[in-house]
Structure 1
Amino acid sequence: MLDSLKVRLYPNKEQQTALAKSFGCCRFVWNYYLEKANNQYKETGKGLSYCDMAKDLTQLKKQPDYLFLKEVTAAALQQSLKNLESAFKNFFQKRARFPQFKSQHKKQSIRYPESCSIKGNGLKLPKLGIVKARIPKAISSKIKSVTVSKTSTDQYFAAILFEVDDSNANKTRKISGIDLGLTNLVTVFDGETYSKVDPIKPTRKYAKRLKRRQQALSRKVKGSNNRKKQVKRVAKVHEKIANTRLDFLHKLSRKLVDENQIIVVENLCVKGLARTKLAKSVLDAGFGMLINFLGYKLEREGGKLIEVDRFFPSTKLCH
């Protein structure tokens, strides 16, 4: 069984420069072969497989104009090609949208599929050495991969994927049904008693601060250094809103999983609700995110999440 842990990284200036090169090279490889696959599909009606792209990448790195690709570990570039192949497969199987070109102005990420380990208070990465990290718990099992990301506010994180023993003892707990709403985010009923949890509404809480910083951004000259600084100030507010919502939903889902062994929830159409007049409140509540958290946490604890069809006439059976 696989588990993941997200930790904060604190790279020094040399490591930040090396990471910037890695982000750029992986982004270039993704965009280069995405365009090449699109052109080949238009000409021949066939795309590129991972083997075709990997062979071409080996020859590409030998050309004088692309020698900079050798500065990055080869495993990370190959992983970028695997991710591109998976993106195409997900599109053709109607699980995701068509792959898009990556931009240097958005969140950057790179995945190291091998040669990663924990050394003291740091994380050892290929061609970077030991990067200082804040690791909340010890990881004694084998690390499968590490995904390093950089946010728009210049913060670095690492998602560590590692193996764990699938030996969680099943505890006898309650079976509860939860109803999701906007007035009360969650109404929990276990057959005898019920409890309600109110939403925190982080978007409305920080709306005034976000409005002021966006107004200041609109007055900055495009392309100026002051505008770039103000963009980061706006991004920090958005990050604060997202972190507040994540923290609340993680704590709420953990409480529900600790108290219940089976949770029954309605399968809501969040996309449809987001097209109504209540779109802002629906998206701010994070219904889909909460159900996702409940699902994987119950699976780890040996529990089960049951999603009832949204068209099931439960009101007609019991008021």
Structure 2
Amino acid sequence: MAQIVKRAYKYRFYPTPEQAEELARTFGCVRLVYNKALEERTRAYTLQGRRVSYVESSAALTVWKRSGDYDFLSEVSSVPLQQALRHLQAAFANFFAKRAKYPTFKSRKKSRASAEYTRSAFRWRDGALTLAKMDAPLAIAWSRPLPEGAEPSTVTVSKDAAGRWFVSLLVEEEISPLPPVAENVGIDAGITALATLSTGEKIVNPCHERRDRRKLAKAQRALARKEKGSANRAKARLKMARAHARAHARVTDRRRDHLHKVTTRLVRDNQVIAVEDLTVRNMVKNHSLARAISDASWRQMRSMLEYKAAWYGRTLVAVDRWFPSSKLCSACGALQDRMPLHARAWQCACGAAHDRDVNAAQNVLAAGLAES
């Protein structure tokens, strides 16, 4: 049975100088409102033990606009500012429900520059998108079409560290489940191989971050050779910063594209998908493996599998993280006393020879099928 889901379509766009200036001003105001509201909430929570509601924060925003110090907040659309307060409210709700840490302040350098517009703050007409406070529509590069007849309910505009502008359109879309299939698969996440399947297939980890790391190291060496305080050093520093931003943007794009292709294939070809319930947040604390684990993006792959399985009528099962998938013989069920990381192949007393990762994936599948 088809279901209606909310789906975001992201496109690159090229603003005019006037639009770029308006958006930059909006980004700054969004960040200011978020931080100021967070400061007020923190003060009330720390000194009085009181929780501030969204309604109180919204009323405070009105007062700030009328004060002489923050009257410039009235020069941008009010909707992105209200959305910033809603996002802060959601952050506190997650904190009090123990689903997330305490909200942190937004940094101009580290936080993503973005603004969210709801239906009252943009005009969508004949495929042209015009934001509030703007006279002309955005010049969007339509890399793929929106679903026929789709009307955006929310628009998010952002700018990445490499200076590229993006617009994300949230639309409602009808998605039909895929026909049932007989195949099931277990997945063992890894570093050398992004994922090893219970079928014996190993999906290679492209290691996108490692490729661009060499280019960044070259730019850093060039910077180190320049005399401190010189004009050439300033130029080299700027060049390195740009190279760093471009490299990370390129790595992110390639990694996401690869993960989309892998997860779509896995969901299309299998009815039940069993994965390990890994705690990536704790695993990256291992400084020897943190870079490789982050480059593999296991958490992002798991997230993609979750929503795609829900969309297309598949079952995703997360096997307990303490399940001894690597030490268990998938042929006879015997549990080995120990299995060091360097042991990539081993033989059980029953005579079965195992590839460590394939055996783990087969055990994950068996445990997943038992749970489902």
> Match of 1:125?
131
Cα deviations across residues 228-278 of structure 1 (Å, max 9, x unaligned)? 453122111122222221121111111212212221111122233323322
Q: Is the 8 A contact 1:217 1:231 kept in 2?
A: no
Residue correspondence of structure 1 range 261-300 to structure 2 within 5 A = 261-276=271-286, 277-300=288-311
Q: Is the 8 A contact 1:203 1:284 kept in 2?
A: yes
- Are residue 83 (structure 1) and residue 87 (structure 2) matched? yes
- Are residue 33 (structure 1) and residue 37 (structure 2) matched? yes
Q: What is the alpha-carbon root mean square deviation over aligned residues?
A: 2.3
> Match of 2:192?
183
> Match of 1:114?
119
- Are residue 311 (structure 1) and residue 316 (structure 2) matched? no
CA distance in 2, matches of 1:81, 1:104: 18
Consecutive unaligned residues in structure 1, runs of 5 or more? none
Measure how far apart 1:307 and its partner are.
Answer: 0.8
Counterpart of 2:218 (choices 212, 215, 219) is 212
Consecutive unaligned residues in structure 2, runs of 5 or more? 332-372
CA distance in 2, matches of 1:225, 1:58: 43
Letter in 1 for 2:32: F
Q: 1:222 to 1:49 in 2, by over 3 A?
A: farther
Cα deviations across residues 44-89 of structure 1 (Å, max 9, x unaligned)? 2213211001112112211222221111111111111111111111
Letter in 2 for 1:310: R
Identical residues among aligned pairs (%):
35
CA distance in 2, matches of 1:290, 1:28: 33
Q: 1:176 to 1:133 in 2, by over 3 A?
A: same
Cα deviations across residues 270-303 of structure 1 (Å, max 9, x unaligned)? 2333233222222211111111111111211121
Q: Is the 8 A contact 1:122 1:134 kept in 2?
A: no
CA distance in 2, matches of 1:217, 1:317: 53
Counterpart of 1:138 (choices 132, 141, 146) is 146
Number of matched residues? 315
Letter in 2 for 1:131: L
Q: Is the 8 A contact 1:171 1:261 kept in 2?
A: no
CA distance in 1, matches of 2:126, 2:140: 9
Q: 1:122 to 1:176 in 2, by over 3 A?
A: same
**SS of equivalent residue, structure 1 residue 65:** coil
CA distance in 2, matches of 1:313, 1:237: 38
Q: Is the 8 A contact 2:216 2:243 kept in 1?
A: no
Which shifted more, 263-272 or 51-60? 263-272
Cα deviations across residues 77-113 of structure 1 (Å, max 9, x unaligned)? 1111111111111122222222111122232011112
Q: 1:42 to 1:310 in 2, by over 3 A?
A: closer
Which shifted more, 59-68 or 44-53? 59-68
Q: Is the 8 A contact 2:30 2:81 kept in 1?
A: yes
Which shifted more, 180-189 or 145-154? 180-189
CA distance in 2, matches of 1:96, 1:32: 20
Q: Is the 8 A contact 2:150 2:172 kept in 1?
A: yes
Q: Is the 8 A contact 1:75 1:114 kept in 2?
A: no
Measure how far apart 1:5 and its partner are.
Answer: 0.9
**SS of equivalent residue, structure 2 residue 119:** coil
CA distance in 2, matches of 1:51, 1:217: 50
Letter in 1 for 2:137: I
**SS of equivalent residue, structure 2 residue 263:** helix
Larger radius of gyration: 2
**SS of equivalent residue, structure 1 residue 185:** strand
Residue correspondence of structure 1 range 226-241 to structure 2 within 5 A = 226=235, 227-241=237-251
> Match of 2:171?
162
Q: 1:221 to 1:9 in 2, by over 3 A?
A: farther
Q: 1:77 to 1:230 in 2, by over 3 A?
A: same
Measure how far apart 1:222 and its partner are.
Answer: 11
> Match of 1:151?
160
Cα deviations across residues 300-319 of structure 1 (Å, max 9, x unaligned)? 11212111112234554734
CA distance in 1, matches of 2:230, 2:72: 31
